[in-house]
Amino acid sequence: MKITTKLWATAALCGAVLTGTAHADPHPDAELIIEGELHLATRAAPPEHLGGVLPEIYSGWLFRTDETRTLQMDDFDNPGMLFAERGEDRWYTADGSAGQSCADCHGDPESLAGVRAVMPKVNENGELWSLQNYVNNCRTERMGADAWGWNSDGMKDMTALISLQSRGMPVAVQIDGEAAEFWERGREMYYTRFGQLELSCANCHEDNWGRMIRADHLSQGMSNGFPTYRLKNASIVSLHQRFRGCIRDTRGESFPEGAQEFRELELYVSSRGLGLPVEGVSVRQ
């Protein structure tokens, strides 16, 4: 009897220590308030499709240092806003053979409020497109301009501007109906081990979030902050660039930004954060 009790106590203690580490680590009391006015939720109830693998979903903001979190709370201090401002210049500047600017069709950038929250999205031809694909479609089909590279200055500026219009709106990607097959493949990829280190997305962001991977504090891998200003790059980083970095870190051969695989993964990863607000241009380490 004594032995049994002791065993149970040990098991309970282990459980407490493990969950304790995972749960205490993201800054528990931090609140994301932009400019003292706009309150962005950084925690939400997990979406049903996760089946309880995460107790609560957390924005990556909660896992960063005090200094990095503070940068995002003030639009003047947030270096990502420089990109959004330049995006606004581009928005009103005609480009391409048709002599049209974004504003000629769309009016003010505010007209695209909500767009970022539902990306990636199945287009009218049944293909899954990211925001970048929609931007380039406008450029090549309507404006007669050259497509922007995924990591080009133009694309960074424009996606920063468009995302900012959805700041505060909950991520609301469609995962059923015509999106279902893409979502299933994205989910498959999320749980597939890559590279010499044989790591899947889930190994870090589902099994070990809240712990350190060497010097980095593992978040839940939520995508609501993207495109994000990464201090490490001193630039805007798209979600696909981040995916590439993650796969590279597994010592794997990565897909290029914009690949079908990454768009499907983007859909699945976004769906894990259903309910968290778009952070516009977030700031990360």
Partner 1 sequence: MSDVRPRIRLPRSAKAGDVVEVKTLISHNMETGLRRDGSGEVIPRQIINRFTCEYAGKTVIDMDLQPAISANPYVEFDVKVEGSGDFVFTWYDDNGEVYTETQSFEVG
Site for partner 1 in 234-253 (CB under 8 A): 234
CB of 149 to partner 1, least distance (A): 15
The mark string for 59-78 relative to partner 1 (x by CB under 8 A, - otherwise) is -----------------xx-
Q: Which is nearer to partner 1, 86 or 106 (CB)?
A: 86
35 binds partner 1 (CB under 8 A): no
Active-site residue, 246 included: yes
CB of 89 to partner 1, least distance (A): 8
Given the residues 102, 138, 201, 246, select the one marked as catalytic: 246
Assign 205 to helix, strand or coil: helix
Look at strands 283-284 and 228-230 and give their pairing. Answer: parallel
Is residue 163 within a helix (H) or strand (E), and if so which, with residue range?
helix 153-164
CB of 234 to partner 1, least distance (A): 6
Distances (CA, A) of 83 to 80, 188, 229: 5, 34, 9
Report the alpha-carbon distance of residue 199 to residue 64 in Å, rounded.
23
Two tokens at 272? 């894990």
Binding residues for partner 1, rule CB under 8 A, total 9
**Contacting residues for 75 by C-beta, under 8 A, at least 6 apart:** 34, 35, 81
The mark string for 176-215 relative to partner 1 (x by CB under 8 A, - otherwise) is ----------------------------------------
> In terms of Cα–Cα distance, which of 106, 78, 81 is closest to 92?
106
Burial code (b: 16+ CB inside 10 Å, e: under 16) for 68-100 equals: bbebbbebeebbbbebbebbbebbeeebeeeeb
The mark string for 111-150 relative to partner 1 (x by CB under 8 A, - otherwise) is ----------------------------------------
Site for partner 1 in 148-177 (CB under 8 A): 153
CA 181 to chain centre: 21
The mark string for 77-106 relative to partner 1 (x by CB under 8 A, - otherwise) is x-x--x--xx--x-----------------
Site for partner 1 in 255-274 (CB under 8 A): none
Q: What does the binding site for partner 1 look like in residue numbers (CB under 8 A)?
A: 76-77, 79, 82, 85-86, 89, 153, 234
Which residues have a catalytic role annotated? 246
